[in-house]
Amino acid sequence: MADSTFDFQMRKAVDAFHAEEMPRTLLMRHIATARQCLVPVRNPGANETPDLIWRGGPEGEGGHYVVYTDPEAFNVARGTGVFDGMPGGWVVVSARQLLASARESDGKGIQINPHTSLLLELSSEEVEELLSISHGSEVDEAILEAMAPPIAPGTLETIAAFSGFEIITRASQTLDLAPDSQGRKLLAVFTSAAGRDAYLASVGPQWAKHGPPMILTLTGIQLAEHMKSLDIDGVVFNCAGPVEPRALHPSLGRLILEAVAKADEEGGGGEEE
């Protein structure tokens, strides 16, 4: 694959992080949502399942998968001779594919760009964090789909199944609202730590006076119940980025709960004799 056709999202993020120009939360999001990265394999044939390279820890425990952000980084490492004697090459996978494989590997971490100046080591716990971020990006896509009826089957269920929504409350029991030039009460909701941190970095003194922020984590169903019960005009997801903010009417909460109830009824009906 020619470099000109490659998506360098992960490489640019790692470069910026090493240069101390990107915070860790944003780095993790860029890694988790990267559309392309390179994985060295032992059997890269078109009709074979890639055998992802991993290097074991002491007595075969632990260990980590090896991944490269881009062809240039891979070629730098290959030039050190570290892959000499290994028949194979690379496969291009998405971060979601990589993380799914790593999760099934019983606690292995990931090394990004080993044998280069851009080494980044992620523990198995950080792999779980990346998986959560990846799931959040899937929810971001579902939220976008929910803005344009008719809503595709499974969209509302994807939102309901997510367990990482965050809202911010204060000591005064006040919930933070997204900025709105029309003065509407729009609940600020976040699908990632990067989105929440971007908001907290930009929030003005009008919220600071209510006390320090406290993060409340909700499932999709809990969020839907809040949307139904709170006196609000709507919700805004990730009002300060890093993805484009999405505003939705609170009736989405009712639609989510109805979709879950219908799925439960259909599932229960299939089990009865």
Average pLDDT over every residue of 135-142? 94
**Residue 52: what pLDDT?**
58
Query: Which tokens belong to 61?
Result: 């425990």
pLDDT band at 106 (very low <50, low <70, confident <90, very high): low
Q: How far apart are CA 163 and CA 161, in angstroms?
A: 6
Domain boundaries, the chain: 3-122, 134-271
Of the given ranges (5-19, 160-174, 203-217, 231-245), which has the lowest mean pLDDT? 203-217
Q: Are strands 186-189 and 234-237 parallel, antiparallel or unpaired?
A: parallel
Residue 65 or 11, more confident: 11
Give the strand pairing for 120-122 and 109-112. Answer: antiparallel
How would you classify the pairing of strands 109-112 and 64-67? parallel
Cα separation, 201 vs 213, whole angstroms: 12
- Highest-confidence segment of 33-47, 97-111, 215-229: 215-229
pLDDT of residue 113: 94
Most confident range, picked from 14-23, 147-156, 201-210: 14-23
pLDDT digits (tens, 9 = 90+) for 66-93: 899 999 998 898 888 876 655 457 789 8
Judge whether 179 and 198 are in contact, CB under 8 Å: no
Residues 150-157: contacts with CB under 8 Å, at least 24 apart: 151/255, 156/255, 156/256, 156/259, 156/260, 157/259, 157/260, 157/263
The answer to whether 42 and 53 have CB atoms below 8 angstroms apart is yes
- Residue % of the chain over a pLDDT of 90: 57
**Does the CA dihedral 43-73-127-56 come out positive or negative?**
positive
- Residue 272 pLDDT greater than 80, yes or no: no
Residue 54 confidence (pLDDT): 53
CATH of domain 134-271: 3.40.1350.90
Does the pLDDT of residue 209 top 50, yes or no? yes
| Helix (H) or strand (E) segment spanning residue 217 | strand 214-218
Across all residues in the chain, what is the average pLDDT?
86
